[in-house]
Structure formats: C-alpha cells, structure tokens
Structure 1
Amino acid sequence: MSGAVDLSALKQPPAGAAPAAAGDHMVTEADFETKVLHRSAQVPVVVVLYSQRSPGSIELVQLLERLVGEAGGAWDLAAVEAESNMRIAQAFGVQGIPTVIAVAGGQPLADFQGTQPEAQVSQWLAAVVQAVEGKLEGDPAAPQEERADPRFAAAEALLEQGDLAGAESAYESIVTQEPGNTEAKAALRQVKFLGRAQELPESAIATSDADPSNVAAALDAADVELFQQQPEAAFDRLIGLVARTAGDERTAVRIRLLELFELFDQAEPFVVAARRKLATALY
C-alpha cells in the first residue's frame, strides 16, 4: 500500500453509536488527522478498521490494544469502526474487515487483512517499527517559524476590507510573478467568483427557471446558487443546459462549469459526480 492518504473532503463525522471496542484508541473522521496523520510523524500508527458485527475483528482490536500497551511508545494504535467512518475506509481502499494499515509520516507503509495469530501480528509490528527507525522527524503540524509571504498578507488585508478588486489585482500580480503558484491561482479564482456573484440578485434563479433556454440567465443563476452554498444545484443547472445547447453556447456553458469545478477540491464527491454527468451530457 502506498500513496498519500487524502482526507481533505472529511468535514463532519457521521452520527453513530460508540464502538463496542477500541477504548482510548478509538479514532473517527473528526480526529483522524490529529491522531493518525500528525501522530504518525512521531511514531508509526497502526490503524485497524473493524466492525462491531465481527467478533473476530473486535478480538484483533483487543489484541492490538494489549500489544500497544506493551510497546513502550514504539508505535501507536488507531481503531476505526469502518461502518461509522466509511470515508476513512474508502481513502485506504479497504476491501475487507478487519484490515490493519501501518501509517508513518502520513503515508501507508504496510498492511494486512483478516485476523492473524498473535505471533504473526507481533512479528509484523516489529518489522514496521524497524522499517521507520530513525526516519521520522516530528509532527508536521507543529508550529513552524515561517515568515508569512507579505504579498499574500497584503491581498488578505484587502479582502478583509471588502476590496475585492484590489485583492484580485494583488493575487494576479503573484500569479504573473509565479505562474506555478497554485495557492495564488486558487485564491484568484475564488476572488473573481465572489466579485461576480455578489453583484447578482437572488431573483436570478427565478429568472432562469422562467426561461431555461436563456444561457446568460442560467450562468447568473448558477453563480447565485453556488454563492448560496448549493453547488449541486448550480452544477445540475448548467449540465442540463449543456445537454440542450450546441456550438458557442454549449462551449460557454462548459467553460463556466469547469471554472466552477475549480473552486472546490477535485476529490469532493459532488464534484466527481458532476464531472461524470458533464461527460455524459457532452458525449
């Protein structure tokens, strides 16, 4: 198992009863970043994904709890109830329960699936600890003495003052100086959208609904819906228009959709779903 663990889409943990196992080592989506990703910069963290409905997986959790208590801090344990934290399981690409993954430096290092004898688990843990010995450098979330980029500070100050035009100009200047600066590009996209959307009346949605073939009205309505934190509605409106238009009109709508997608993390489920719908509408 390799590659970054991307949990950027996790915002709120799903509701659910507390697991029947795990004790102090229980981890959910809400504290995964702190207890696993950050902690794994100091010692390897063994993540066990289990189910309350699987006695065998609960026994494995209990075995790992005993072993971590005997490990003297050489590694840490994170017990995740998979059914209550599906996005963690999906991030790791888990195929079966229980699954155990060793995370070091924020990255999956090794894994195994299914219950195992204690001797084999102990041998696996020893190999994990040995593999990272002397290679972990500390918590990347710890405060760093970094000097803030004064260009970004100036742009953010303009934003706080409500000067969107000034902030847009400041971010454009950074992008001109550093075409590869992804942070400045993302900020510029956001500011441009805000500057456009906040000037639109809420009635833009009703106007578009009254005349679904009006491309300009649909673009305005989608901006308002996105400004009102209804991205799915905005995307669906424009995807429907893509399916009904052709030529320059279709191109204009498609370009606006792609611009709106770029305002979000591309791994967000609603962005992924909208991109699939767009592909269907186009082809």
Structure 2
Amino acid sequence: MLDRLEMFMALAAERHFGRAAEKCGISQPSLSAGIKQLEGELGVQLVWRGSRFEGLTPEGARVLDWARRIVGDARSLRQEMRSARHGLSGNLRLGVVPTALPMVADLTGPFIARHPGVQIKILSRSSIEILQQIDDLRLDAGISYLDNEPLGRVVTEPLYTERYLLLTAKSRPCAQQSALGWADLAGLPLCLLTDDMQNRRIINHELTQAGVPITPRIESNSIIALVAHVLTGEWVSIVNADTAALLAARPELSAIPLQGGQGAKEVGLIAPYREPHTPVLAALLAQARRLSKAREGAA
C-alpha cells in the first residue's frame, strides 16, 4: 500500500495525473491504476474525476492526512535503520526564504563537516511554499520567519533576529547618513522583493506605518536581481544584515541601518511536528541550536 499512498500524495500535490506520474517515475496509466487500487482497498472514492483531475473527495482529504503520516513515518524508519547500519547519511531537502540564503552556509557548512555522509539540496522558496512543501513531504525542513505569520503544527529553532538596512550606491546622498528612519525612505527609488514574499509583507507594513507610499517600479523574487539594480546607482533596496555583510566588500555600496518601526523579526529552522525525527533532521536541529548560541555570543 505504501507505494500507492505515495502516488496519491503526488497526485494531491501536482493536481494533474500526468505531472504526478512523471514525479513518481511511472506512466500515467500505472498511476491511475494505483489510485483505483487504493480506492478499492480503502472502500472509498478518493478523487473527483472528469476529463481531468477535479480535486479530492472529502474522504480523499482525510486519507491524504493519513498518507502523509504513514509515508513520513516509513521514511523515518528507513533512514533510522540506514543510519544504524552505516552512520548518519541520506539526503536533506531544505527550503529557504530568499532573505535567509546569505546565511544558510553558516548552518549547512558545519553540519556537513560533522556529517559527511549527508547530502543537502537547498531550494529558494517563499514562506508559504516552505510550510506547504514540508506538509507534502517535498521538503524535509525550512528556514523562514517564526513570529510574523502563523506557522501551524511545526517544530522551530530560532537562528537569528532580522535587522533591516537600506542598500544604496555610495554616489547617492543618503549614503552619507549613519542611520535612517523608515519615513526617510519617502521619495527614494525602491526596488523590492515581490509581494508573495513574507519579507516584502513585513517591509510593506513598516513603510505603511511610516506613511511612505509603496511604489517600487522594480520587483523580483531574487535578492541578486535587486542588488544588481542597486549597483547601477539608479535604485535602492531594503536588505537584512546578512545580505549587507555579504556585500560589504563592494566599495561602491553602502548599507544604512533603518531605525524605529515595529521591531525585528525572528528567523529560524522549521521542521515537521513528528516524534521521533529522522536522525538527519534531529542532527540538523541540534546544529541550529549550536548556531543560534554562537550568534548570540557574537552579538
């Protein structure tokens, strides 16, 4: 039944029989047959069907919750037995919000050094995508905001508190300031992350509270694209301290602290609420705690 539950989960995630079959590495007729066999075993219809996928039945939605638990536990069991035989090993899929990408090596670098048998795939995702894909078992863990929007049923380990700075070319007059308030950004040519990013929603709130119109003419889901525009000298952007530190070697850029506002937001590691965790995920949570203590000591 386990393989059919995985097919069903793939179909629920992709909402398309062809894409789900491709994800599972099987033909579409094989996937359709597997779903029908699962329905026969459980005695309920799981999927509304027409000429295409039309959604899950109420019973299908309930079975999906069970499937995630059963498949997640089965994967945990396999990984634990593999670790018992060969030491900590396996693959770890980590979703990271774009603003946290500049610091992710502080977590993954020492982790890999301690556990060389583990391979990590780092994927840039929005905070909403991270939660959904952890729920769907497409991600093992994520790095995202902890205290700004609801997280649901997850385990968290704080990593750092995000502070905001204005990133600007040194040729602009504002680059001469030692600090700025959010209200001082009125009239500046801002380029910002797209509004599906939680960082953008935080910045929107700060600008609105300061009475600053939110009118960026450049938006991107990539921090690199924003920095590239700042480097032209025509634009400014709002970044966090880790991004600013990554760019500190660029002599043509300045990062000016932004003061006031509603306060900094906490960023941390997010993992599924499941006990026991897989050995790899338990080790990653432990590494996150070490990193948090190290950052607190350096502050």
User: TM range, normalised to the smaller chain?
Assistant: under 0.3
**Radius of gyration: which is bigger?**
1
Relative to the length of structure 1, the TM-score reads 0.24
The two structures have a TM-score, normalised by structure 2, of: 0.23
Point out which structure has higher relative CO (alpha carbons under 8 A, 6+ apart).
2
Q: Which has the higher strand share?
A: 2
